[in-house]
Structure 1
């Protein structure tokens, strides 16, 4: 009689293998980009066979997608689940909500930015990655809307600014590529970048300086 069973050791080994592949792939993608990173290179860096990478993830795109999912999950609460934002959304002081959102964004942007660069490079040559790029932009836009809603709360936005316009400003001016340009390229300090975010969010709400 055949028995199906789950060995805790086997499950743990599979989890450790998956983790090793993802860690190796992260370094390969960030250093080499989409085109130069191959499944063979990922496998060698993870000390597994290429067949193992395919068995665990299926495709190179799936490996990158898993890394992006991890980065987004560790960076910001899911914009589709507002209950994940209570510590910020529940604060009665709008100025404090600005400060807390700045802290959240300044931690999250460096985590997501390297993968956005990989996706932008890959999208030019690979239609599958172009689809991933569109998904990533949709997630960013949804997050921008959620940031604006949390920021506005019961106090609202500037009278001359709509919710859509405010979300567009956050989407465009508080995104990972802006962090890369200002911090990595122009050499801004984290404090300077945080001041930029605080200024941006402060301009969206009424009477910040009152």
Structure 2
């Protein structure tokens, strides 16, 4: 007979709650004030802990930012997205799905990523965190490209590598910032345009029907 797992102690629960409060405070302050303008003391005050606790739990601002980015790349939503990509077997439906998934992710993370991009030019540690986000996103696009290639759906002259590049060109955060910030497009407008543009750019004629 298998023994029941021991209940979690109050100390472990408190540690988890403290870590969550610090991460939430850091994300909120990074978005509102920017990375460089946010001080550890402000994060501590918002999370209602001592500054030393912020360093102990998160490793300071860089550690907190990296943890936030890594958490976003390993969240349950990401796991579900990967599973759905692998399950869809109709090319245009797959394009519709990845467009909607990136639109939803951008809506959730654009505030933080805007500050990360702004800070990356001046801070190597922030560039490392940005690279983690980019690698995760590009990995997802490569999976989509591979699925389309396996279906035989890619248009002539577009292989898996070029398809990955085209998905990145249209769906990376920088492309979303151009459409929303520079052009003033709504996310609905952007999503509709992306489905049409990527269907034309990626799919062979016979694979473009809904």
Fold match (TM-score > 0.5): yes
Q: For residues 70 and 184 of structure 1, do their structure 2 counterparts lie closer, same or farther at Cα, with a shift above 3 Å needed?
A: farther
What secondary structure does 2:146 align onto? Answer: helix
Q: Contact conserved, 1:76 with 1:104, CA < 8 A, in 2?
A: no
Alignment of 1:129-140 (within 5 A): 129-140=126-137
Deviation sequence 1:133-191 (CA, Å, 0-9, x none): 33333333222212222344422311111222221121122112222332345332222
Q: TM-score, normalised by structure 1?
A: 0.83
Does the alignment pair 1:100 with 2:101? no
Alpha carbons 1:61, 1:128 under 8 Å: kept: yes
Partner residue, 1:186 = 183
Q: Could you state the TM-score of these two structures normalised by the residue count of structure 2?
A: 0.83
Partner of residue 143, structure 1? 140
Q: Is the 8 A contact 1:94 1:152 kept in 2?
A: no
Tell me by how many angstroms 1:209 deviates: 4.7
How many angstroms apart in 2 are the aligned matches of 1:126 and 1:59?
A: 14
Contact map agreement 1:112 1:176 (CA 8 A) in 2? no
1:71-90 alignment runs, 5 A limit:
71-74=72-75, 77=78, 85-90=82-87
Residue aligning to 2:154: 157
- The yes-or-no answer on 1:177 pairing with 2:174 is yes
Match of 1:91 in 2: 88
* Partner residue, 2:3: none
Equivalences, count: 202
The Cα of 1:11 is off from its aligned counterpart by: 0.8
Aligned to 1:28: 29
Compute the displacement of 1:45 (Å): 1.2
Distance in 2 between residues matched to 1:105 and 1:84, nearest whole Å: 10
| 1:205 aligned to which of 203, 206, 209 | 203
1:75–1:107 contact (8 Å) kept in structure 2? no
My pick for the range that moved more, 200-209 or 69-78, is 69-78
Asked if the contact 2:91/2:151 (under 8 Å) is kept, the reply is no
Q: In the alignment, is the contact (CA less than 8 A) between 2:92 and 2:209 conserved in 1? A: no
- Residue 61, structure 1, aligned to residue 51, structure 2: no
Q: 2:42 aligns to what?
A: 41
TM-superposition CA deviations, 1:101-140 (whole Å, max 9, x none): 2222221122333333222222222222222233333333
C-alpha distance in 2, partners of 1:136/1:184? 20
> Post-superposition shift, 1:76?
5.6
| Structure 1 unaligned blocks of 5 or more | none
Is the alpha carbon distance of 1:76 and 1:160 closer, same or farther for their aligned partners in structure 2, counting shifts above 3 Å? farther
Residues 89 and 97, structure 1, Cα contact 8 Å, conserved in 2: no
Q: CA RMSD in A?
A: 2.6
Q: Give the direction of change, closer, same or farther, for the CA distance of 1:121–1:190 in structure 2 (3 Å limit).
A: closer
